[in-house]
Chains A and B, each alone.
Chain A
Amino acid sequence: MKTKLTFAAALLAATMLSGAAGAKTFVYCSEGSPEGFDPGLYTSGTTFDAAAHTVYNRLLEFEQGTTETVPGLAESWEISEDGLQYTFKLRPGVKFQTTDFFTPTRDFNADDVIYSFERQWKSDHPWNQYVAGGSWEYFSGMGFPNLIKSIEKIDDMTVRFTLNQQEAPFLANLAMPFASILSKEYADKLEADGQMQLMNQQPLGTGPFQFVAYQQDAVIRYRAHEDYWNGKQAIDDLVFAITPDASVRYQRLSAGECHLMPFPNAADVEEMKANPDLKVMEQEGLNIAYLAYNTQMEPFDNPQVRKALNMAINKEAIVDAVFQGMATPAKNPIPPTMWSYNEEVEDDPYDPEEAQRMLEEAGVTDLSMKVWAMPVSRPYMLNARRAAELIQSDFRQIGVDVEIVSYEWAEYLERSSDVNRDGAVILGWTGDNGDPDNFLHTLLGCDAVGGANRAQWCDEEFNNLVVEAKQTTDPDERTRLYEEAQVVFKREAPWATLNHSLSIVPMRKEVEGFVQSPLGDFAFEGVDLVE
């Protein structure tokens, strides 16, 4: 998109620079360019940071720093006895942003909610295909098309969602970026002007910052939303300076060209901590890296074999070599920051001798297998090749011969899903909404075999537990079910749980009020610069 600024915006920018001497500008050295500005259309965190967490709000929000949901644009809600109807009372007096490209004439209401969901849901909706070939990946990935029976406007400030079946994670799903609430009035205007594509280029919502301009692959500019319902922000301007290389981000941060950066090189972290101008926040990420056996193939269909192999892996060595200590070994398939994490579960001990004995007992000798190493670095696994080499040498100790294979990323994702795939695959997951269902059912449920369930594991006992938990709204009961599911998981060992990586956020000393999100979001509501 070629940046087209109206005269008003340019004038305003000029006054901003010359006149407002006290204006506070917060610069975030972001890692990449957003794919667009309509959060429903995309799946990457980069796009969500640039669009969903700045410009938009959702009916529910994740409380900063947690995965608990709190009221957002919905002030309160009621769930019917049968768990199928969710009635939301909307927050009154919420203003949409007034920008140089649109001036709203009314406050937020039920029409905006219905528009925001129906456009993703109904294929005959005029906005369903407003970008040719666009697909609503998260809406469909979270199962919404089959889940939602109806969305009704009860009155201007009340909306009711009726579901086809009980779905406990529904509320958490509504706090996800794809469920952002757009302005129906703005949409109508764009439609009338024949400019629908601008919805994806000039976003307008109710959020803490309003969109000013995007220079492709270079800079995104926002300004604080004057009438934000949760209070105007302390910073006046927010700038995303797109800086793809991690070493360069670090240089910019130390030179004071930006205030905060994501995804540092693990090797730089010690130096950052020693720099008096910087401070470093760290938190266990909502993620897991795993080695998934193909549980439908011999000899990995035998839990004892899987268990034996798990006991041969020295996870501490992987954490040290791959993450320079910036990770923790994993025992459960969900991270420790997530509710229902079962502390009681005991990890398989690292014991190569016992592992070898168990393999012999299972009648497995001269085993040679493939270990798949991802070709890309992901937050949960920085260097899969290195991890695979360590696993290779661990397995060699118990007499198992490993061939490391790798494919280009797209092919890797595709081939590793195949039920007939051989060997064990290194992969991982970063949580979407903080609900255990998003790990346990999404990655290990019977429905996901041939897809996200890379272990091709369909265990009746486990599956019943996670499906029941999905359909129960009582949090205590859900916790119990998930805890039990983790016990079954550990016993059956479809994966070797490798590690949870730490999420590290370096920033300038003067940054105040930034709260690290366990979901890995970079959201700047509440951030301030204090000299």
Chain B
Amino acid sequence: MFRFLIRRLAVLIPTFIGVSIIAFAFIRVLPGDPVVLLSGERGMSPERHALIMQQLGFDRPLYIQYLDYLAGVLSGDFGNSIVTRRPVLDDFLALFPATLELSLCAILIAVVLGVPLGILSAVRRGSWLDQTIMGAALVGYSMPIFWWGLLLIILFSGVLGWTPVSGRISLLYFFPSVTGFMLIDSLLSGQAGAFKSAVAHLILPSIVLATIPLAVIARQTRSAMLEVLSEDYVRTARAKGLPPRRVIGLHALRNALIPVITTIGLQVGVLMAGAILTETIFSWPGIGKWMVDSVFRRDYAVVQGGLLLIAGIIMLVNLFVDVLYGLVNPRIRH
């Protein structure tokens, strides 16, 4: 197991360097530079443009900029945003808990609903239940998130008035951010009703963000389960006269979960992509919205820093999934 871990960790280093180069190059490949955007329709004289590019250090050769950036990253300095001038890491740390809170709730919903629905579909293969679940999963998977989010807002917030429209908590509540997680902070604040408000604000965005992963997990669970159910050892278990619940819940599920765990791990990337739209609709102050704005503003420092941090997190999650996978399936370790 130890050697397995070391091997996995060793792969991370070249991946990380690769990602840092891509993150650095990506935003620079896009035409247009941040200084042009800064001046907008007004335009700017070439002299002033050159002066500001020089002040920002963008007039230096690219490889020097990259090495400078890499040296900063290794010492924990991700540079300052060109637009807000604040340190990229500070902004990331302030905004990331919001994205994480939303993503965790979404993945929780997706797993808690997706896995049982997938199992049910597999067990009742071909029934109307199976067809309904898989049909719904296909619709969920194909649904444009933006439209889906607005639809839910209009129904549950607009027409029924059950949930708040957007934001993380009612504007009535105002307390210092301790952990950055609104659910925890609202409890810590001791203000009556704050926690309830935070939960109410979390419902719609979590559902919207959970939709695609939920569909994927349900479909993956179903097909993995079907494959396992047709294995000889399941037939043997059944032939032994084990109760169906035990066959499915213990013998089949354990093996079927292996590809499902991988799928759940891969959903982290999907969540990050979904967060961009979900955060925009629900005015959720997370990193998805922050990254998109920065791409449009050509905020080199934020885009390259943000991409690297997000990639780092996804890499760590995948490492964790690999380790988990190794635990569930010992053959993988060799």
Contacts and interface: CB of A to CB of B under 8 A. Distances in A.
A247 B277 CA distance: 14
26 contacts: A2-B94, A3-B176, A17-B172, A17-B174, A36-B84, A36-B85, A132-B85, A133-B56, A133-B82, A134-B85, A137-B39, A215-B177, A216-B91, A218-B167, A218-B285, A245-B283, A248-B150, A248-B153, A251-B166, A254-B158, A255-B161, A409-B296, A410-B32, A411-B31, A414-B32, A451-B43
Interface of A: 1-5, 10, 13-14, 16-17, 25, 27, 32-33, 35-36, 41, 43, 131-135, 137, 140-141, 197, 200, 213, 215-219, 221, 239, 241-245, 247-248, 251-252, 254-255, 257, 407-414, 417, 427-429, 442, 448, 451-452
Top 3 A-B pairs, shortest CB-CB distance? A410-B32, A217-B285, A451-B43
A213 B177 CA distance: 11
B86 interface: yes
A251 B157 contact: yes
Contacts of B52: 133, 135
B95 A216 contact: yes
B332 to A, nearest CB: 40
A413 B167 contact: no
A269 B165 CA distance: 19
A275 to B, nearest CB: 11
B32 A241 contact: no
A408 B157 contact: no
Interface of B: 30-34, 36-45, 48, 52, 55-57, 80, 82-86, 90-91, 93-95, 150, 153-154, 157-158, 161, 164-168, 171-177, 180, 191, 280-283, 285-286, 289-290, 293, 296, 298
B209 to A, nearest CB: 15
A43 B40 contact: yes
Contact of A410 (B280, B290, B298): B298
Contact of B166 (A200, A221, A248, A417): A248
A241 B167 CA distance: 8
A132 to B, nearest CB: 6
Nearest to B289: A217
Contacts of A197: 85
A413 to B, nearest CB: 5
Nearest to B277: A245
Contacts of A27: 171
Contact of B85 (A133, A137, A217, A427): A133
Contacts of A243: 166-167, 283
Contacts of A412: 32
Give the most central of B48, B165, B293: most A CB within 10 Å. B165
Contacts of A43: 38-40, 42
Given A5-B176, A252-B166, A257 B42 contact: no
Given A133-B55, A452-B42, A407 B31 contact: yes
Contact of A133 (B80, B154, B180): B80
A243 B283 CA distance: 5
A438 B142 CA distance: 49
B32 A409 contact: yes
Given A1-B86, A217-B290, A409 B37 contact: yes
A257 B165 contact: yes
Contact of B42 (A133, A241, A442): A442
B282 A248 contact: yes
B36 A245 contact: no
B158 A17 contact: no
A429 to B, nearest CB: 6
B95 A217 contact: yes
Contacts of A414: 31-33, 36
A4 B94 CA distance: 11
B90 A451 contact: no
B69 to A, nearest CB: 15
B85 A10 contact: no
Contact of B40 (A219, A242, A413): A413
B192 to A, nearest CB: 9
B43 A448 contact: yes
